[in-house]
Amino acid sequence: MLDIKTLRADPQACAKLLAVKGFQFDVDYFLELENQRRVLQQESEHLQNERNQKSKTIGQAKARGEDIAPLVAEVGDLGDRLDQAKERFNVLQDELQSFLQAIPNTPDASVPEGTDEDDNQEIRRWGNLPAFNFEPKDHVALTEGGSMDFEAAAKISGSRYVVLHGQLARLQRALTQFMLDTHINEHGYQEVYVPYIVNADSLYGTGQLPKFAQDQFRIEGEQETYLIPTAEVPVTNLYRDSIVAVEELPIKHVCHSPCFRSEAGAHGRDTRGMIRQHQFEKVEMVQLVQPEQSWQSFDELTHHAENILKTLELPFRTVVLCGGDLGFSARRMQARYRDPATNKPVSSDLRLIISATNNREVNRFVYDAAIQAGVLVNCVDQPDLCTFIFPAIVDRSPILIAISSMGNAPTLARVVRGWIEAQLSPNLGKLAELAQSLRDRVKLELPSVDARKSFWETLFRSAAAESAMQGNLQDAKTKAEAMLAESATGETGGIPQASVALIGAGPGDPELITLKALRLIQSADVILYDKLANPAILDYARRDAEFEFVGKQGPKPGSPPTRPDNRGNQQFSINDRIVEHARAGRNVVRLKGGDPFIYGRGGEEMEQVIEAGFDVIMVPGITAALGAASYAGIPLTYRNLSQSVRFVTGHRVENVINLDWPEMGRRDQTLVIYMGLVGLPTILAKLIEHGCEPERPAALVENATWPEQRVIVGTVATLADAAHEAQISGPSVVIIGDVVAKRKA
């Protein structure tokens, strides 16, 4: 796999790289073989040259009529010595070739060190692993006695084979077709069909021989042939010993084939199921590109594979394999792979050079030439050979943020960029445009530097800023000009330019909060929150922000219907506190569990804030019903089962459960009951009394989306008793309808 010139040029450097893979390259033995090769080659060349000269002498002596017998004998002796030298040279060449064929490909210099898969480095992940409230079964247990038959395969073939029946066989065929069609129609590959039997040269060409001879299935016969271990072997060897014109590149092939591996080195490992099989199916992608396009091609191959998993909605991790986990032929897996660039001098009119090769000598030459010419240079993944670094960029033009690890961890810089991207509004640039339009006027009307600084800080956290980032620049400018006028005149009697945001905190999981809500929380001076808002959300706030708990305690099962502290009075007090903070010029966030406008009394708070003369920013949240249904795996609508959803409250109003019972019992809808735990027995009894079938499926979700979420499933007739037996006491949502039966237990 290695170019012999690379080994000869710097065997010590190659040994160091190979050690990353855990391979000990015997430099002394290699140098000894190389020395013997040079000696024998020089001897053969010398004997060949001497023989040629003597042969010419024989012709000349014969022309002069001289006795040529001594010369003929001498030439014959030279021929024997030459044959012997060639024989020794060929034997040595075979020994050298065997030695070289056992050397794996050198890893890229950026491959992390490590011994096995535990040392691999994760660079990104997609999707979330499903959470189960039961012990999941593996594929063997799920298909036992059914569509996956290992016993039948063992009877007809032996161990490490499987027979697929029915829908599972059909699924395998469908997945194969899906992958082929996706790569052909969406990714631009050309399908090829190849033989499943290849000769030894093909396996040598892709590195399977001689290192992994024991893992191959060799076919007995006159020719040395093998079953293919992967379609990569025949597809790659289509171009072996060929010269491909640049105009034909890139060449992109996709191929489906069965793969055959003896797994001789896997004795005792993964014996259960179909993890290590002698025969399995695979769809292979192969690209032939110019060396300078190899990194782009590798990225493309990776993303094409990821796209398959995303389309199938299968969570996955993309990792950089460490040296010890790399394959024999791999230079780097899911990492940069570059071929050496040509050694050309630096042009005098260049101002910036990027060297993206994996040959340190080439990079060093480029670096030294660039320094001599006074040109900026970046040798990728080699910080010591860089005079500048490419940062990761967050672009909110004209706001730009650059993140750099100074070449130490480029992937980390990209990850940090993602974190920052999530924090910043896509329309942040609009706010910069607003500031630019006011700069001259602010400088004119506020001569003091401190006054200007205070104004800008207040503006960027005001309702005017929110309008700008919503794209309403005219409204933003009107509000900003009003703020400037007050700052310039020093008036204090007007309404301060505070902002009030009513934010839905979602049902519990802090990651369900919206990006807009997150941004407003981070700019808040004071946050009023209730007990249904996860306190973890407060960690997003500024350190100097003030937190005020305004939670209301509702009745619990068994508690009296009336309470000394009337909850209506509690709500009036909350409304007053919001207005008081706004009048003090603070940016106020009212953080409410679920969604403010669904049984959250957000409408009452909004009315009082507007009446006090303040604008209100409304940020919806995922309501408890949606969160509970989603996390419990219950679809709220389902074709032919439920065409509508009805949200109702089971809360006591004037000590009576006042629901429209005839409408509640309709079969073609899903009924979602908020705050129904206290009156649950009465509610369910009333539903049955008004025509709802007792056996209709029903579920109760306690602490929806929280880690301690519990789901109780039953029927309208049994749910109340089941909830009582489970001692349900936390915030709960009740879902009634045939859709509950679609939940996978």
Give 384-429 pLDDT, tens digit per residue: 888 887 788 888 888 888 888 877 777 888 888 888 887 777 888 8
Spell out the SS3 assignment of 427-479.
CHHHHHHHHHHHHHHHHHHCCCHHHHHHHHHHHCCCHHHHHHHCCCHHHHHHH
pLDDT value for 718: 94
CATH code of domain 166-314? 3.30.930.10
**pLDDT one-digit tens code per residue, 16-50:** 888 888 888 888 888 888 888 888 888 888 888 88
List of residues 6+ apart from 734 with CB closer than 8 A: 650, 671, 672, 673, 676, 677, 680, 683, 698, 699, 700, 701, 719
- Report the sign of the C-alpha dihedral through residues 33, 39, 45, 51, in that order: negative
| Angle ∠(537,542,548) on CA atoms, nearest 5 | 65
E-state strands within 175-224 = 190-191, 197-199, 217-219
The whole-number pLDDT of residue 656 equals 52
Q: How far is CA 569 from the centre of its chain?
A: 50
3-state class of 716 per DSSP? Answer: coil
Cα-based distances in Å from 355 to 369, 381, 407, 544, 617: 12, 10, 14, 47, 51
Question: Taking CA 338 as the corner, what is the angle to CA 304 and CA 117, rounded to the nearest 5 degrees?
Answer: 65
- In sequence order, the 6+-apart residues with CB closer than 8 A to the CB of 273 are 138, 139, 140, 150
Strand partners, 736: 671, 698
Q: Where in the chain is the domain with CATH 3.30.950.10?
A: 624-742
The CATH superfamily of 624-742 is Tetrapyrrole methylase, C-terminal domain (3.30.950.10)
Q: Which of 556, 549, 554 is nearest to 568 (CA)?
A: 554
Which residues on adjacent β-strands are paired with residue 352? 376
Omega of the bond prior to 596 within 30 degrees of 0, cis?
no
Q: What is the CA radius of gyration of the chain?
A: 38
Report the sign of the C-alpha dihedral through residues 384, 385, 386, 390, in that order. negative
* Amino acid residing at 597: F
Q: DSSP for 81-123, please give it.
A: HHHHHHHHHHHHHHHHHHHHHTSPPPPPTTSPP-SSGGG-EEE
Taking the mean position of all CA atoms in its chain, how far away is CA 726?
39
Whether the CB-CB separation of 337 and 116 falls below 8 Å is answered with no
Q: Which fold has domain 26-102?
A: Helix Hairpins (1.10.287)
The pLDDT of residue 237 is 94
DSSP state of 386: B
Distance of CA 285 to the CA centre of its chain: 20
Q: Is the pTM of this model over 0.85?
A: no
Which residues belong to CATH 1.10.8 in the chain? 427-489
Active-site residue list:
530, 552, 675
Distance CA 359, CA 352 (A): 20
CA dist 502 to 40, 595, 617, Å?
87, 9, 6
Residue 411, judged by CB atoms within 10 A of its CB (0-12, 13-18, 19+), counts as middle
State the Cα–Cα distance between residues 218 and 202, nearest whole angstrom. 13
Query: Where in the sequence of the chain do the CATH 1.10.287.40 domains occur?
Result: 26-102
Block residue for tokens 């990079």:
363
The alpha carbon of 699 is separated from its chain's Cα centroid by a whole number of angstroms, namely 35
Q: What is the pLDDT of residue 745?
A: 56
Q: What pLDDT, on a 0 to 100 scale, did the predictor assign at position 233?
A: 94
d(CA 691, CA 362): 83
DSSP 645: E
Strands 217-219 and 500-504: unpaired
Answer whether 536's CB lies under 8 Å from 508's CB: no
pLDDT number for residue 660: 75
How many whole angstroms separate alpha carbon 355 and alpha carbon 406?
Answer: 17
User: In this structure, are residues 509 and 528 in contact, taking their beta carbons and an 8 Å threshold?
Assistant: no
Long-range CB contacts (< 8 A, 24+ apart) of 443-450?
445/484, 445/487, 445/488, 446/484, 446/487, 446/488
Q: Which CATH superfamily is domain 500-551+573-619 in?
A: Tetrapyrrole methylase, N-terminal domain (3.40.1010.10)
Whole-angstrom distance, CA of residue 352 vs CA of residue 741:
65
Residues 123, 320 contacting (CB under 8 angstroms): yes
pLDDT of residue 64: 80
Q: Which of 209, 191, 205 is nearest to 236 (CA)?
A: 205
Domain with CATH 3.40.1010.10 in the chain: 500-551+573-619
Helix (H, G, I), strand (E, B) or coil at 394: strand
pLDDT, residue 188, reads 94
473-489 and 428-445 helices, crossing angle to 10°:
30
pLDDT of residue 561: 44
Residues 6+ apart with CB under 8 A from 681: 720
Q: Starting at the edge strand that comes first in sequence, how are the strands of the sheet with 546-549 ordered?
A: 546-549, 526-529, 588-592, 500-504, 616-619
Structure tokens at 741: 């039966």
* Neighbour tally for 76: CB within 10 Å: 12
Contact 548, 460 (CB under 8 A): no
Which of the listed CATH numbers 2.60.40, 1.10.8, 1.10.1760, 1.20.920 matches domain 427-489? 1.10.8
Residue whose entry in the numeric block shows the structure tokens 């016969």: 221
> Which residues does the chain have with pLDDT short of 70?
1, 263-271, 327-351, 490-497, 552-569, 651-659, 745
CB of 585 closer than 8 Å to CB of 498: yes
